[in-house]
Amino acid sequence: MSNSEKVWLVTGGSRGIGQAIVERALADGNRVAVLSRNPKKDKTEATNKENNDRQLNLAADVCDEAQLQVAVEQIISEWGRLDVVVNNAGLHRGGKTSSLDLEDWEAVVQTNLSGALKVIRSAEPHLEQGASIVNIGAVVGFRGFPGDAAYASSKAGLAGLTRALSIEYAKRGIRVNLVIPGLVFTDMTSGLSEKAMDSMRDMIPLGRLGEAAEIAAVVHSVAAATYMTGAFIPVDGGLMSTFGMPG
């Protein structure tokens, strides 16, 4: 490996925003470990054929710390270090609080918030000065939407975790930031009706949904920003500006 290459770990990197982050990292000449629960069924295989020496597809559930530790050890064994950690894996289950199944609540919080912490805990012993952790938040973590209590709570918690860890890790030169995507064309939004899409689009000052590649570009800039930590970076077409930036 050359000194210019970075080793990335991306959770939920097999589709949507995560896949775009992986593709951008590979295009920039880096090495990427892609974590998903079942990589054999995911889209990462096609990418791996073209980058078989610079991409690892690893099976691990972010809710299982033992699996995560095994995956991280595989990365260290293969490439000797870890430079960038992206917590992108996410689970969305909606429902108003009166009807929301508590099992759905717990699954969302376990994946989106506790899972991020477990990934960081597994990676942290191998992170050195200059390393970067980028957590992927959501607008709903700052702006409430009815029927989204579980997802909103998990993403708001991730914002708090980002702030706390940015201070905790600062003395070691490890940066922790939060990128906040707005409404983006992904598998999650593809099932929405045309009416719902039009309604959401009308809320966005730029008048359109974002592309996964646009989010990935900002993630890469944040990962490389050597004097940024504890920051919240919206990439939302101006959506958060309509109700105020996070404090």
Per-position pLDDT tens, the chain of length 247: 666 899 999 999 999 999 999 999 999 999 999 999 877 655 545 455 556 789 999 999 999 999 999 999 999 999 999 999 999 999 988 778 888 899 999 999 999 999 999 999 999 999 999 999 999 999 999 987 788 899 999 999 999 999 999 999 999 999 999 999 998 977 766 666 777 778 878 889 999 999 999 999 999 999 999 999 999 999 999 998 887 655 5
Query: Would residue 151 show up in a list of annotated catalytic residues for this protein?
Result: yes
Tell me the CA distances in angstroms from 218 to 43, 79, 153, 162, one per residue in order.
Answer: 23, 25, 24, 17
Q: Is the pTM of this model over 0.85?
A: yes
Contacts within 8 Å (CB) and 24+ apart, 69-73: 69/122, 71/33, 71/35, 71/122, 72/9, 72/122, 72/123, 72/126
What domains can be seen in the chain, in order of their start residue?
A: 7-234 (3.40.50.720)
Please give the torsion angle defined by the CA atoms of residues 225, 231, 235 and 241, in that order, rounded to the nearest 10 degrees: -140
DSSP annotation of 184 reads B
Catalytic residue among 151, 159, 182, 235: 151
Q: Diameter of the chain by CA atoms?
A: 55
DSSP 8-state secondary structure symbol assigned to residue 112 = I
Report the pLDDT value the prediction gives residue 144, as an integer from 0 to 100.
Answer: 76
- pLDDT value at residue 185: 78
